[in-house]
Amino acid sequence: AGAGAGNGGTRYDLEKETELRFEVEAGEKVQLELLTGLAEVFGSELNRNKKYVFGPGSKVAVFTWQGCSVSLSGKTEVAYVSKDTPMLLYLNTHAALEQMRRQAERDNERGPRVMVAGPTDVGKSTVCRLLLSYAVRLGRRPTLVELDVGQSGVSVPGTMSALCIERPADVEEGYSVQAPLVYHFGSTTPGTNIKLYNKLTSSLAEVFSQRCEVNRKASVGGCIINTCGWVKGSGYQALVHCASAFEVDVVLVLDQERLYNELKRDLPHFVRVVLLPKSGGVVERSKDCRREARDEKIREYFYGFRSSSFFPHAFDVRFSDVRIYKIGAPSIPDSCLPLGMSQDDTQLKLVPVTPGRDLTHHVLSVSCAEEGEEGVGGVRRGVLESPVCGFIVVTNVDTQAQVMTVLSPAPRPLPRHTLLIMDIRFIDLK
* Pairwise CA distance, residues 61 & 194, whole Å: 34
Can the peptide bond before residue 413 be classed as cis, meaning omega within 30 degrees of 0? yes
Helix, strand, coil shares, percent, the chain, to 5: 30, 30, 40
CB of 273 to ligand ADP, least distance (A): 18
Residue 346 backbone class (left: φ over 0; alpha: ψ -120 to 50; beta: rest): alpha
Question: Which residues of the chain form contacts with ligand ADP (CB under 6 A)?
Answer: 21, 59, 61, 120-126, 229, 279, 281-283
Identity of the residue, 59 or 361, whose beta carbon is nearer to ligand ADP in the bound complex: 59
Which of 220, 262 has the CB closer to ligand ADP?
Answer: 262
- The residue (of 111 and 281) whose beta carbon lies closer to ligand ADP is 281
Taking the complex as a whole, the smallest distance from the CB of residue 279 to ligand ADP amounts, in Å, to 4
Query: Based on CB atoms, which residue is closest to ligand ADP, 59 or 291?
Result: 59
Q: Which helix (H) or strand (E) holds 201?
A: helix 194-214
CB of 58 to ligand ADP, least distance (A): 7
Q: How are strands ordered across the β-sheet holding 76-82?
A: 44-45, 40-41, 59-64, 18-24, 76-82
User: What is the DSSP code (8-state) at residue 106?
Assistant: H
For ligand ADP, give the closer residue by CB, 133 or 408: 133
Interacting residues of 333 by C-beta distance below 8 A, sequence separation 6+: none
d(CA 326, CA 421): 5
Which is nearer to ligand ADP, 228 or 388 (by Cβ)? 228
The residues that bridge with 37 in the sheet, in sequence order, are 68
Question: Using CB atoms, what's the residue nearest to ligand ADP?
Answer: 281
Shortest Cβ 54–ligand ADP spacing (Å): 10
We find the least distance from the C-beta atom of residue 256 to ligand ADP, in angstroms, to be 11
Q: How far is the CB of 210 from ligand ADP (least distance, A)?
A: 28
Measured CA to CA, the distance from residue 373 to residue 353 in angstroms comes to: 18
Residue number, 201 or 386, with CB nearest to ligand ADP: 201
Contact 295, 389 (CB under 8 A): no
Which amino acid appears at position 316 of this protein?
Answer: D
Q: Tell me how far, at minimum, the Cβ of 363 lies from ligand ADP, in Å.
A: 21
Nearer Cβ to ligand ADP (42/426): 42
119, 285, 122, 153: which is closest to 224 by C-alpha? 153
CB 222, min distance to ligand ADP, A:
20
Q: In 3-state terms, what secondary structure has residue 158?
A: coil
Q: CA end-to-end span of the chain, whole Å?
A: 41
Contact 145, 239 (CB under 8 A): no
